[in-house]
């Protein structure tokens, strides 16, 4: 027992429980589980991500300070990499991930003292840390680490020389020659083999794909034809080593393979920037290997489906772009429509890419740096979305020397609404892949490096979902996940799923009720958490088969909320006919609970399915229309072209400001003051075309 340094009360160590949060702790342990939740710790900024800041606590543990924990916007945080900061440990997860909280006190003098958090002795005063031998200290600095390593190497070399002298029993000249003979150059090895070479001196050759300065060494991220690894080069604490070497350079590096923070790292002893023939040889070797490995095998599609078969070649092209981005240490950003269909496509690609990122990069947090999935609330990749993305990617390039990401747009990128956004990415030469089943506008697909869309191949895409396309792309990106995503195409269909996909889901253990529950659960979460990182929740819903109860629980909430809204709107629907076409009109502005679930497009989809399925005789033509404050949503079995309708309606109501968003069954905007004129003109224009 000891006494509290603040109040003098009896304590298990140097601080009592009531004052633990008044002092600052310096962590000397080696494992996340040795941290104490609730305590404030000093740390150093390790890196930045779009969702928060990674902070090193001590020498062996890294935690995440999520942006939701900050008292300000992440982009206004003026921390630099390697800077000392103060954070609170809020929790340690079973997998070792450490959650950090914001500390209002960002100066050591604002705390009422400083203690060491020693796993063996508890909370102790710094002057009690009298573990004499530097080699055994758990809080040694980068300078001490490098000094000790050099001293040890010198001692080993002297010892080996002494042994050689004792064993040399022939003549003195021979012994002298042996002592002065230079060490042979190490043979080049592939980075993928380094896990078997811990403690060995190695030589690697490759491209520098990232460089960052810490409070200690400079960290070069080097990629060869097999994988990527961090290489630490030290000259002086916080001083840039090899300043002539930048991202994109090709290098030859000699060093010792170590495990640091339980991750592979090469301690650099010599680094040479390659020029001329040497550079060309390495660059050619990497390019050939990259091209061969990035091109996916000509695997079969998930099921026999004509609409998807029409784009099999472009599916392979899209998969190659994604695989290549991972191998080039280029972040992959998936932007998808915030619908169940868009989420299925985005989640399928995420499922395929994350294992490749983990295989490519030694750092445990690489999947957060090199992959992100962001929903598109408006459904299109417009200028606002592109501006946010460009701002982020330029900031990451400036602050972290990061390559421009590959953008994959799912359920977006085919229509004029995405043209400006794609053009902005094109200005910066950021690579782009679009995966869509919408009828495209002329020239938009040309703004993508690869465009997967059945309509571009002259196929009938009316029975193709983006979820089906995305799942097939994912199966080509990573064949190992094929079995785990085979149920996703069936999940993406609200009605009339092709039998080939329902059979595929059944074979994987997902019956019709289960796929329906998954679709409904994802649709609900897509609405309520549009601005959050949904990686874990969506993973649990779509891929954790044993958590079926979770999907059923969320789906039940979906059904209740949808049922309440249907009961509200059905007595208030108006029916009108024109030119042999039956129109069901919903005044969503007056007869729905706005800003709550379900959103008008999803509600209108359900109304149209019910109306057509229950009331209409075969051969009848039926259109369902929803009218919001200044928008008209159109749903029809004949896939009305909204651009043609808007053009004709604007002639009939020239003062209504009628313009279309999207092509088939899209949205038509109008001026609020011309609501009735706009609706009449749109109804008449649709009737003329059916």
Residue that is last in its domain, among 110, 136, 162: 136
Q: Mapped to the 3 state alphabet, what secondary structure does 124-180 carry?
A: ECHHHCCCCCHHHCCCCCHHHHHHHHHHHHHHHHHHHHHHHHHHCCCCHHHHHHHHH
Backbone angles phi, psi at 322, to 5 degrees: -70, -45
Query: Between the CA atoms of 564, 569, 570 and 575, what dihedral angle is there, to the nearest 10 degrees?
Result: -160
pLDDT reported for residue 614:
54
Q: Does residue 675 sit in the same domain as residue 624?
A: yes
Q: To 5 degrees, how large is the angle CA 681–CA 684–CA 689?
A: 130
Which of 251-255, 381-385, 537-541 has the lowest average pLDDT? 537-541
Whether residue 506 contacts residue 515, with contact meaning beta carbons closer than 8 Å, is answered with no
Q: Does residue 267 sit in the same domain as residue 300?
A: no
Question: Which two structure tokens, joined as six digits, stand for 299?
Answer: 């695997």
This prediction has a pTM of 0.68
| Residues 41-72: tens digit of each pLDDT | 999 998 888 788 999 998 889 999 988 888 77
* Domain of residue 205, residue span: 191-290
Question: Which two structure tokens, joined as six digits, stand for 427?
Answer: 């200005």
Q: To 5 degrees, how large is the angle CA 640–CA 645–CA 649?
A: 150
More reliable by pLDDT, 550 or 157 = 550
pLDDT at 451 over 90: yes
Question: Which two structure tokens, joined as six digits, stand for 552?
Answer: 């059923």
Q: Does residue 595 sit in the same domain as residue 655?
A: yes
Residue ranges with strand state E in 428-552: 432-435, 450-452
> For residue 640, which of 660, 669, 615 has the smallest C-alpha distance?
660
- Counting every residue written for the chain, the total comes to 690
Cα distances from 192 to residues 227, 340, 370, in angstroms, run 5, 38, 18
Q: Any alpha helices (H) in 207-339, and if so which ranges?
A: 276-294, 306-309, 312-327
pLDDT reported for residue 67:
86
Considering 11-15, 567-571, 578-582, the range whose residues carry the highest mean pLDDT is 567-571
pLDDT reported for residue 17:
84
Q: Does residue 86 sit in the same domain as residue 10?
A: yes
CATH number of the domain bearing residue 578: 3.10.310
Q: Does residue 453 sit in the same domain as residue 538?
A: yes
Considering 107-111, 610-614, 618-622, 634-638, the range whose residues carry the highest mean pLDDT is 634-638
| Residues 76-130: tens digit of each pLDDT | 788 888 889 999 999 998 878 899 998 888 888 778 888 999 998 888 888 644 4
pLDDT at 156 over 70: no
Whether residue 230 contacts residue 265, with contact meaning beta carbons closer than 8 Å, is answered with yes
Q: Does residue 208 sit in the same domain as residue 307?
A: no
Q: How many distinct structural domains can be found in the chain?
A: 4
* Local confidence band at 142 (pLDDT 50, 70, 90 cut-offs): very low
pLDDT at 288 over 80: yes
| Residues 212-230: tens digit of each pLDDT | 887 778 999 999 988 899 9
Note whether residue 672 is domain-resident.
yes
Note whether residue 170 is domain-resident.
no
Q: Which residues contact 532 (CB under 8 A, 6 or more apart)?
A: none
Which of 126-135, 208-217, 348-357, 391-400 has the lowest average pLDDT? 126-135
Q: Does residue 466 sit in the same domain as residue 549?
A: yes
For residue 45, the surrounding DSSP H or E stretch is: strand 40-49
Note whether residue 141 is domain-resident.
no
pLDDT reported for residue 561:
95
Q: Does residue 326 sit in the same domain as residue 444?
A: yes
More reliable by pLDDT, 680 or 238 = 680
pLDDT reported for residue 130:
44
Q: Distance between alpha carbon 11 and the CA centroid of its chain, in Å?
A: 45
pLDDT reported for residue 570:
93
Note whether residue 466 is domain-resident.
yes
- The C-alpha atoms of residue 281 and residue 250 are separated, in whole angstroms, by 10
Mean pLDDT across 321-349: 94
Question: Which two structure tokens, joined as six digits, stand for 460?
Answer: 């009938």
Q: Does residue 362 sit in the same domain as residue 235?
A: no
Q: Does residue 230 sit in the same domain as residue 325?
A: no
pLDDT reported for residue 520:
97
CATH number of the domain bearing residue 35: 2.40.50.140
> For residue 469, which of 489, 455, 450 has the smallest C-alpha distance?
489
Whether residue 296 contacts residue 477, with contact meaning beta carbons closer than 8 Å, is answered with yes
Q: How many CB atoms lie within 10 A of CB 367?
A: 18
């Amino acid at each position: 027992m000891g006494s509290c340094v603040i109040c003098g009360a009896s304590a298990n160590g140097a601080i009592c429980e009531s004052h633990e949060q008044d002092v600052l702790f310096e962590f000397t342990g080696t494992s996340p589980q040795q941290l104490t939740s609730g305590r404030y710790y000093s740390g150093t900024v390790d890196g930045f991500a779009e969702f928060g800041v990674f902070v090193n606590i001590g020498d062996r543990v890294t935690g995440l300070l999520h942006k939701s924990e900050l008292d300000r916007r992440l982009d206004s945080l003026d921390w630099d990499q390697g800077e000392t900061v103060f954070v609170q440990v809020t929790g340690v997860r079973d997998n070792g991930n450490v959650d950090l909280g914001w500390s209002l006190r960002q100066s050591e003098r604002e705390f009422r003292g400083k203690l060491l958090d020693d796993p063996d002795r508890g909370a102790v005063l710094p002057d009690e840390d009298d573990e004499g031998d530097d080699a055994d200290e758990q809080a040694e600095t980068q300078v001490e680490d490098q000094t000790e390593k050099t001293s040890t190497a010198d001692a080993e070399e002297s010892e080996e020389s002494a042994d050689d002298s004792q064993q040399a029993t022939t003549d003195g000249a021979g012994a002298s020659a042996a002592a002065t003979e230079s060490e042979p150059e190490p043979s080049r090895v592939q980075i993928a083999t380094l896990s078997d070479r811990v403690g060995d001196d190695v030589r690697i050759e490759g491209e520098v794909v990232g460089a960052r300065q810490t409070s200690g060494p400079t960290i070069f991220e080097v990629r060869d034809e097999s994988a990527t690894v961090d290489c630490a080069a030290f000259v002086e604490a916080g001083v840039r080593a090899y300043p002539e070497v930048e991202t994109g350079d090709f290098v030859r590096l000699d060093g010792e393979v170590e495990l640091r923070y339980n991750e592979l790292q090469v301690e650099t002893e010599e680094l040479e920037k390659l020029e001329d023939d040497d550079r060309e040889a390495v660059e050619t070797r990497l390019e050939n290997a990259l091209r061969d490995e990035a091109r996916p095998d000509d695997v079969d599609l998930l099921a026999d489906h004509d609409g998807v078969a029409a784009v099999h070649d472009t599916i392979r092209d899209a998969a190659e772009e994604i695989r290549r981005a991972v191998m080039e240490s280029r972040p992959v950003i998936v932007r998808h429509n915030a619908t169940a269909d868009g989420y299925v496509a985005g989640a399928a690609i995420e499922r395929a890419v994350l294992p490749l990122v983990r295989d490519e990069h030694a750092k445990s947090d690489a999947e957060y740096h090199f992959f992100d999935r962001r929903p598109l609330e408006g459904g299109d990749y417009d200028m606002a979305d592109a501006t946010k993305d460009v701002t982020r990617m330029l900031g990451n390039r400036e602050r972290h020397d990061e390559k421009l990401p590959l953008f994959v747009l799912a359920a977006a990128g085919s229509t004029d609404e995405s043209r400006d956004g794609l053009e902005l990415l094109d200005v910066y030469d950021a690579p782009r892949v679009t995966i869509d089943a919408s009828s495209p506008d002329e020239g938009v697909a040309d703004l993508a490096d690869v465009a997967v869309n059945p309509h571009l191949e002259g196929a009938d895409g009316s029975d193709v979902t983006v979820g089906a396309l995305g799942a097939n792309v994912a199966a080509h990106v990573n064949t190992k996940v094929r079995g785990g995503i085979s149920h996703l195409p069936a999940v993406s269909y609200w009605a009339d799923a092709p039998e080939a996909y329902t059979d595929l889901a059944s074979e994987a253990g997902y019956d019709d009720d289960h796929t329906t529950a998954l679709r409904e659960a994802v649709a609900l979460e897509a609405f309520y958490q549009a601005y959050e990182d949904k990686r874990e929740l969506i993973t649990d819903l779509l891929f954790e088969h044993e958590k079926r109860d979770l999907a059923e629980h969320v789906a039940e909430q979906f059904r209740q909320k949808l049922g309440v809204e249907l009961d509200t709107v059905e007595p208030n629907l108006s029916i009108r006919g024109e030119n042999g076409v039956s129109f069901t009109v919903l005044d969503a502005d007056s007869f729905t609970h706005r800003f709550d679930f379900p959103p008008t497009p999803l509600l209108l989809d359900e109304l149209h399915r019910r109306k057509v399925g229950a009331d209409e005789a075969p051969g009848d033509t039926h259109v369902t229309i929803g009218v919001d404050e200044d928008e008209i949503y159109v749903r029809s079995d004949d896939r009305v072209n909204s651009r043609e309708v808007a053009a004709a309606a604007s002639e009939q109501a020239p003062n209504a400001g009628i313009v279309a968003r999207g092509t088939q069954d899209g949205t038509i905007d109008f001026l609020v003051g011309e609501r009735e004129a706009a609706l009449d003109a749109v109804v008449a224009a649709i009737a003329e075309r059916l």
